[in-house]
Structure 1
């Protein structure tokens, strides 16, 4: 399995990256929902809630894939000497 510059295999790195960005975006979207509600824009708040839920599901799915790759294949720890 190819190992990138981080020492993690590419698939593990990619999943961690998508999971991180999905969780970060979900956190940010919470503020966007509040901003839209404060402006009286319920339709926009609902839009932000929808994409927040989509990112939450994306992060959950990444977590499941990472669990499947798990310690048995040692894809969740940096690889030595690669």
Structure 2
């Protein structure tokens, strides 16, 4: 069964930026946790929230999957 409706799966500039920021925050938080640096762990948690907010703001500005500034690439 094939579904011809492709929701985009978050493949947009807003999603890429948000996920990249959150991935860096999670990786940094893990390293800081291992190094027992609680202030930097909490700073990484704050950066994780910033990534979410940046993604939402970019989506509202039109860079989300259904936004006017998003040009999907053709799949082969």
TM (normalized to structure 2)? 0.58
Confirm whether residue 33 of structure 1 aligns to residue 29 of structure 2: yes
Deviations 1:7-61 (A, max 9, x none): xxxxxxxxx6465333212112101111111111111100111122112101111
RCO higher in structure (CA 8 A, sep ≥6): 1
The answer (yes or no) to whether the contact 1:19–1:58 under 8 Å persists in 2 is: no
Aligned residues: 60
Decide which structure has the larger Cα Rg and report it.
1
Q: Which runs of 4+ in 1 moved over 2 A?
A: 16-23, 75-78
SS at match of 1:58: helix
Gaps of 5+ in 2: 1-11
TM (normalized to structure 1)? 0.55
Change (3 A) 1:77 1:18: closer
